[in-house]
């Protein structure tokens, strides 16, 4: 009887430990203002619209774009689309995103007209890290 009780307690302990461990989510809330601290800011609105501001000297170049964040994939994706001006006009930035925590993510993207342009892994020289404002 004592051995059965011990086994039940051990299994219960493992089950409790297993169920209480929270796996880290692939994504966090992206809505809000973000900066790369080097002159770029992104402002994600809840309706799928975003503002991308790039600082040139004391002026900002502003792009109104749409965004799509997909957290269901093993490697979450973040796409910026509907550029109506500038060098990205008619293209989409197909990106991958990785969260360090709920207020920092790294982002890498390539412009293109189809998702095949999307990077498959992060390149240390292409990554931009964004911080919540």
Mean pLDDT for the stretch of residues 24-31: 84
Find out if CATH 2.60.40 is the number for domain 25-132. Answer: no
Distance CA 98, CA 92 (A): 19
Q: What is the pTM of this model?
A: 0.79
Q: pLDDT value at position 3? A: 59
Mean pLDDT for the stretch of residues 37-48: 96
Mean pLDDT for the stretch of residues 110-114: 95
Mean pLDDT for the stretch of residues 66-84: 96
> Is the pLDDT higher at 125 or at 6?
125
Confidence of residue 25 (pLDDT cuts 50, 70, 90): low
Distance CA 103, CA 115 (A): 27
As a whole number, the mean pLDDT across the chain is 86
Q: pLDDT value at position 1? A: 56
Q: pLDDT value at position 63? A: 93
* Cβ(128)–Cβ(106) below 8 Å: yes
Distance CA 116, CA 4 (A): 57
Mean pLDDT for the stretch of residues 41-51: 97
Least confident of 4-8, 19-23, 85-89, 126-130: 19-23
């Amino acid at each position: 009887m004592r051995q059965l009780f011990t086994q039940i307690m051990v299994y219960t302990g493992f089950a409790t430990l297993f169920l209480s461990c929270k796996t880290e989510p692939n994504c966090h809330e992206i809505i809000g203002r973000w900066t790369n601290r080097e002159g770029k800011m992104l402002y994600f609105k809840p309706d799928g619209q975003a503002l991308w501001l790039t600082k040139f000297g004391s002026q900002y170049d502003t792009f109104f774009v749409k965004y799509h964040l997909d957290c269901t994939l093993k490697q979450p994706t973040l796409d910026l689309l509907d550029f109506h001006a500038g060098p990205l006009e008619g293209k989409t930035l197909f990106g991958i995103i990785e969260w360090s925590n709920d207020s920092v993510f790294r982002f890498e993207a390539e412009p293109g007209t189809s998702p095949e342009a999307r990077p498959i892994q992060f390149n240390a020289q292409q990554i931009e890290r964004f911080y919540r404002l």
